[in-house]
Amino acid sequence: MLKLLLISLISIGSLAFATKCRAESETDGKYASRTLENGTAVKLIVGETVIPALLNDSKSAQALIAKLPYTVELQRYAHDYCGVMSDGLPYDKSDLRDGWLDGDIAFAVSGNYFTILYKDEDISEQFDGIVNMGIIKAPLSIMNTLAESISLRIERD
């Protein structure tokens, strides 16, 4: 009975490790899927980690830029880091999209959510009401190095 219990625990531990490795390998060496040539350069700062990013000229991004420096508390979820902004951002209805591309910085209008979406773009069309505000300019795997709950400070670069 003890052997069976030990084998079960080892199997569960192996599955958990394999799942973590799979999640990390999805973003290893990959950069944002969306290209953005022009925009406002910003730094996303989490503790000692600085992530370069570029914000576009959307109404939402421009409103965020006007608030800089800005700090938002984020939580890691299956596809992203997400947190509620103290004040919502204005947006043009024409900027609303279903889904995202990996590496997007976005505003989800349904709950004033600031989000950094770094994986699972292939299943993202089921999520609507998203305004793209820019992209991160670092390997997406940097997101895997951050804690589950983070305080993100956004500053002009």
- 42-92 confidence digits (pLDDT tens): 999 999 999 999 999 999 999 999 999 999 999 999 999 999 999 999 999
How does DSSP classify residue 57?
A: S
pLDDT at 12: 42
Report the candidate in 142, 147, 87 with the shortest Cα–Cα distance to residue 114.
87
Mean pLDDT of 12-33: 57
Distance of alpha carbon 9 from alpha carbon 17, whole angstroms? 12
pLDDT at 26: 58
Q: For residue 67, what are its two tokens?
A: 């608030």
Please, which pLDDT band fits residue 29 given cuts at 50, 70 and 90?
confident
Q: What is the pTM of this model?
A: 0.82
Note the Cα 44 to chain centre separation in Å: 11
Across the chain, mean pLDDT equals 87
Distance of alpha carbon 155 from alpha carbon 157, whole angstroms? 6
Contact 153, 70 (CB under 8 A): yes
pLDDT at 18: 41
Distance of alpha carbon 143 from alpha carbon 82, whole angstroms? 12
Angle made by CA atoms 42, 45, 50, in degrees to the nearest 5: 80
Please, which pLDDT band fits residue 22 given cuts at 50, 70 and 90?
very low
Lowest-confidence range among 28-32, 88-92, 105-109? 28-32
